Amino acid sequence: MAKLRVAIFDFTDCEGCQVELVGLREKLTEIADQVDLVRWRLTQERTEPGPYDIAIVEGTPITKEEQKMLQWVREQSKFLIALGSCATLGGIPGIMDKEKRAYWYKKIYGSKYKPRGLDAPPLSALVKVDFLIHGCPVNGDEVVRVVEELLAGKTPKYRGYSVCFECKQAGNPCRLIEGKPRLASTKQRESRRACLGPITQGGCGAICVSGGSACWGCFGLRQEANIDGLLEVLSKIADSDEIEKYLSMFLKRTEAYQKFKDKAKRK
Amino acid sequence: MTEDFITKIEGHGRLKVDWKKNQVTLEVAEGERLFEGIVVGRPATEAAWITARICGVCPTAHNLCALKAVEDALGIIPDPTTILLRQLLLSAQMIQSHTLHLYFLAFPDYLGIDSGLELKKKHPKYFRAALTLKEVSDEIAKVVGGRATHPTTTTVGGFHKTPSANQLKELKRGIQEALREAESTAHLAASLTYPEFKTNLLFLSQVGKKAHFNIYETVKTQGSDGTTWLIKDYKKMITEEIRRYSTAKFGFYQKKPVMVGALARLAIQGGNLNPKAKRFLGRAKIDFQNPFHNNLAQAVELVHFTEEALELIDRITEAPKPANPKGLTGLKRPKTGIGALEAPRGGLYHEYTINERGSITKANIITPTVQNLGSLEKTAQALIDQTKNLGKERRAKLLEMLVRAYDPCITCSVH
């Protein structure tokens, strides 16, 4: 059987997800040996035209040129994977509202500059995407899992559990329930802290919470996430402004942010 | 549909050559993410988390630079162990970035292969060196920073979590192995034939207080023209220009193109390198008028920063555990702070104004590649001018190799 033709594309982003792919080291070369890697701008000059069996697309298509390119990639590809939060959610660049771009162009570049960017949408806002590998950055092992399932002829599935499941496995105290001891010597605890773990899809190994940061939801909403329930819990821990900051980090272009906004409006 | 972007560089750029006029322009096509707008209105504590995402190749450099800027504004002085841990993180960042650039982006041109992945079969020895350096530097970033890309443990005033004595011991063993591979990389880089090319290069590098090859605790910026600048004057030192063909601004040093990064650091503070790296520098015969030698300079730095990491591990092991970062309190009035450090590609500057509520009201970021773009374009023009006797294909290839030698980070430059 002929090897699957795989192409990797990148739009505007930090390219950290591609760096994670390189970080797979031997595993990357093993996978590369099983497929025909016909296109990957970051690491090779070889660039073959389509069609492609699998296209892996990183980044958010901010410019018109990129948005056109995405349409073409979609037409040429049997299975299109969005790689990383910029591609799956709009990511950090998605924090910037479309309507506010003009103001910031003027402020940052001055009035003579002719902007190229239109907006920072997730790929799915423009084309049909067959699978989302979330993460800022992605977890390399998750990428391996998805690609290996595709190579075995299976359709990959999403993780059916939230970050909380992996966070408990990692032995972290729950930010939402327990808070963190202020001083190791006393039992006095800081107030509870916000976290988006409960509505966020697992697969990251709760890496941010394990490091002491919050979960800001970069792995995207899990299926059947109880958004209302979390908003209720958060409203007892943080003020509305703080909750907005949490939900806008990666999830600004999702149902979760919309629900929060609608609730805030009703108040 | 094909994209005519230069391959094997970080981000999207093209060199447009008008072969009739022998004229070259450097087009940058990356979309504008507007980071200096994204952070405004958000808590100062988020600056490091968000701006790490400017670049996936040097996220730790942005993360630490943002922390320094915010701490400068809030008047927070981190304890000495925190600073040692950050220096270790930044050394690992240098090794991560230089390894990726040399083995996956630059060396293939010199080894007759297209992709770094081909090293596995064609040059297994180099492949092992690349993998060891990548693995060990990623491991330092994971153990100290929480993750290989985009740190999770770093915060204003210190660390959420610090490595145990056992973890440090494990790291040390890895770094000792990495040092051997860094040396073999320096040997390899010294054995390659770089294009013969000479042009006048002006350099800038941040330097520390003491005669130490400092990249984290920098206090001023020094030019190869003999001038020194206080960090707070960075905007007077570097001015940015808008180009109609680029989404990145072009930075100039006193209106002149300037080169920053490994070659610049060695030109300005090479005398302060660690012993093994210094010996390589003595033997490598680096030509500071040949930008292709930036690759060689990066390889010498690989040795330096691996030596540095070893020394830092020892110092951290002996140091007291850092204090827990204190919670932030509000400011009486708005304050502005500047953070600066040497990132893999050169001097990086972050500046934030923070209001009474702890929110960012203004941000300015100047990245190394912004400073390098003007020099890169000028040097590309010089290369075109000096190679009129060569065929078009060879000249185009040399131009691509020149761009890679500068190791531009286009995503950083646009931000």
Q: Please, what is the average pLDDT of chain A?
A: 94
Q: Identify the CATH number of the domain in which residue A129 sits.
A: 3.40.50.700
ipTM value of the model?
A: 0.96
Strands B250-253 and A36-40: unpaired
Q: Give the nearest partner residue to B148 out of A23, A45, A104, using CB atoms.
A: A23
pLDDT score of B4:
79
pLDDT score of B1:
61
pLDDT surpassing 70 at residue A190: no
Which candidate, A59, A65, A57, A61, places its Cα nearest to that of A119?
Answer: A61
Q: Give the nearest partner residue to A15 out of B56, B146, B159, using CB atoms.
A: B56
Q: Is A262 among the domain residues? A: yes
The residue range of the domain holding A30 is 4-151
A118 CA: distance to closest CA in chain B (Å): 9
Share of chain A above pLDDT 90, in %: 91
A167 and A147 in a single domain? The answer is no
Q: Which residues in chain A have Cβ-Cβ distances shorter than 8 Å to B122? A: none
Q: Is A180 among the domain residues? A: yes
Q: How many residues does chain B have?
A: 415
pLDDT surpassing 50 at residue A117: yes
A184 and A231 in a single domain? The answer is yes
A12 and A92 in a single domain? The answer is yes
A12 and A124 in a single domain? The answer is yes
Cβ neighbours of residue B126 closer than 8 Å, sequence gap 6 or more:
B103, B107, B111, B119, B188
For chain A, how many structural domains are there in total? 2
**Least confident range of A143-152, A179-188, B203-212:** A179-188
A43 and A144 in a single domain? The answer is yes
* Mutation site, A12, A71, A207, interface B, largest B CB count within 10 A: A12
B360 CA: distance to closest CA in chain A (Å): 13
Distance CA B279, CA B273 (A): 9
Q: Residue ranges of chain B with pLDDT lower than 50?
A: none
Strand order in the sheet with B228-230: B204-208, B218-223, B228-230
Q: Give the nearest partner residue to B32 out of A22, A45, A117, using CB atoms.
A: A117
Q: Is A158 among the domain residues? A: no
Whether the predicted model's global pTM rises above the 0.90 cut: yes
The CATH architecture to which B13-413 belongs is Orthogonal Bundle (1.10)
Query: What are the DSSP calls for B154-206, one per residue?
Result: EETTEESS---HHHHHHHHHHHHHHHHHHHHHHHHHHHS-PPP------BEEE
Strand order in the sheet with B335-343: B335-343, B346-354, B360-366
pLDDT score of A186:
47
A141 and A170 in a single domain? The answer is no
Give pLDDT tens digits for B235-277: 999 999 999 999 999 999 999 999 999 999 999 999 999 999 9
Q: Give the nearest partner residue to A137 out of B33, B56, B159, using CB atoms.
A: B56
Q: Is A156 among the domain residues? A: no
pLDDT surpassing 90 at residue A178: no
**A36's tokens:** 């025909």
A65 and A122 in a single domain? The answer is yes
A134 and A252 in a single domain? The answer is no
Q: Is A157 among the domain residues? A: no
Query: With an 8 Å Cβ cutoff, are B327 and A190 in contact?
Result: yes
Interfacial B residues in 35-64 facing A (CB < 8 Å)? 36-38, 42-43, 46, 49-50, 53-57, 59
Strands B250-253 and B335-343: unpaired
Extract the annotated binding site of B for Mg(2+).
36, 365, 415
Query: With an 8 Å Cβ cutoff, are A62 and B33 in contact?
Result: yes
pLDDT score of B70:
97
The band of A192, judged by pLDDT with boundaries at 50, 70 and 90, is confident
